[in-house]
Amino acid sequence: MKIAFHTLGCKVNQNDSQAMAELFRGCGHEIVPFEEGADVYIINTCAVTKVSEQKSRQIIRKGMDLNPKALVVVTGCYAQTSPQEIVGLKGVHLVVGLADRPRLAELVGEYFENGHNQVHVTAIDAVTGWHDLPVFDPQDRTRATLKIEDGCNEFCSYCIVPYARGRVRSMPIRQVIDSFTVLVGKGFREIVLTGIHLGHYGKDLNSQLDDLLEQLLKIAGDYRIRLGSLEPKDVTDELLNLIGSEERICQHLHIPLQSGSDRILQKMGRNYDLSYYSDLIRRARKVNPLMSIGTDLIVGFPGESDLDFEDTCRFVESQQFSKVHVFRFSPRSGTPAATMPDQVFKKIKEERSQRIQQIAFDSAFFYARFFMGKDVKVLFEEKTAEGWSGLSGEYLRVIAHSDLDLKNRMQTVRIDEQKNDHLLGSLCLEKQDF
């Protein structure tokens, strides 16, 4: 059969979709683009915002339009939190929860045998231990994502994720090491460690993330490790020192801030204040003055005043973030923030989002400027009209000219010029990786 996937949401979801595709390939099925005619359309949904749920419903309808006779399967966080709502949508045949996805190929086969709309959603609170999808084998042989953790124990007042993903569950260390070794052996030059609450890796195993990193760095090979998003309290001095002293770990951290107002952070249920966060950034930049630090922000949280928002703008301007993801607050049913008083009007949220996005753009531009004339290690991915394009360890898009085939090559590049969204550089011939 021909199987098509559409994925909404975070990088963990993208990783999960690729792993599910591997399940079907292993059964002899063909994976095709979503726009192509398929026998089965699988929509891996997101539930972080109302908009993501609306997009999920739009994609479900799109699958029906592409092939009215096809089987439509819905999985992901939206399927986990609202299975009865989804199974009631026209055209949906199967709803599969997060813990039930390892059986997805089997469930699709069963549907073709009995033909009844079905819901297979195990209560996420009942899920313990590591029972996740298999490690997938990306096709481009450049960058691989290794999901080593799932779930979150924090329950921030705005967030639906713990209700969808359950409590923290970590891949056993031996399994991580084995999976990592396989990916290195297959030629991947960058491996991204990811999870829903990555910094809590090992909390259920009497271990921690920096212990795992030390074990992975013992593995021979020409590779680098990139860390997914880490919560502020999870970035310890031990972890910072390890990152700063090890060139095989990308000098790039993504640390969600969410608000630049202590009052709003408290309402959000975040476990830090601005003083703690700014000191963390100071400590990170003491380890490496050019440490790339990205973040997430939510604007329009209930009760966010003009003063709160101005505080956020000033704080963001002061931190020299390399990347800022801006989200407009979206009330999620079942979370405390959904029923808080003083909900912010949609128009105000849109205006604040536009303003903070401009500040974010300026911050990223000024951060990238620090690299003019400096050397960076770039993992090249593809050839474009401008030249070979890749990412530095700092997560900067770099383009360099070369007549050589640089795909999946880690090259030292000297930065010569800055564009709006990328840097231009020249290969350092004395430091070639051939």
For 416-426, write each residue's pLDDT tens digit.
999 989 999 99
Distance of CA 101 to CAs 18, 86, 106, 138, 417, Å?
Answer: 12, 16, 10, 19, 46
pLDDT value of position 275 = 99
**Sign of CA pseudo-dihedral 95, 98, 104, 106:** negative
DSSP state, 420?
A: S
| Spatial contact of 25 and 17, defined as CB atoms under 8 Å apart | no
Residue 429 has a pLDDT of 75
Which amino acid belongs to residue 187?
A: G
Strand partners, 249: 225
* Pairing assessment for the beta strands 143-150 and 94-96 based on DSSP bridges: unpaired
Sign of CA dihedral 169, 48, 209, 188: positive
What are 308-325's pLDDT values in tens digits? 999 999 999 999 999 999
The predicted pLDDT at position 3 comes to 96
Looking at residue 434, its pLDDT comes to 45
pTM score:
0.91
Other CB atoms within 10 Å distance of the CB of residue 26: 10
pLDDT at 135 over 70: no
Confidence of residue 194 (pLDDT cuts 50, 70, 90): very high
Residue for token pair 């959904």? 338
- Is the pLDDT at 156 greater than 60? The verdict is yes
Among residues 60, 180, 74, which one has the least CA distance to residue 117?
74
Q: Which of 64-68, 163-167, 175-179 has the lowest mean pLDDT?
A: 64-68
Q: How confident is the model at residue 37 (pLDDT cuts 50, 70, 90)?
A: confident
Q: Are 66 and 84 in contact (CB under 8 A)?
A: no
Q: What is the mean pLDDT of residues 276-304?
A: 98
- The Cα diameter of the chain in Å comes to 65
Q: Which of 393, 391, 21, 47 is nearest to 196 (CA)?
A: 47
pLDDT of residue 249: 98
**What per-residue confidence (pLDDT) applies to 251?**
98
Percent of the chain clearing pLDDT 70 (strictly above): 97
Q: For each of the domains in the chain, give its residue range(s) and CATH number, in order of start.
A: 2-122 (3.40.50.12160), 126-225 (3.30.750.210), 251-370 (3.30.750.200), 375-431 (2.40.50.140)
pLDDT of res. 218: 98
Per-residue pLDDT of 19-35, as tens digits, reads 899 899 989 999 999 99
Contact between 313 and 356 under an 8 Å Cβ cutoff? The reply is yes
pLDDT at 115 (0 to 100): 77
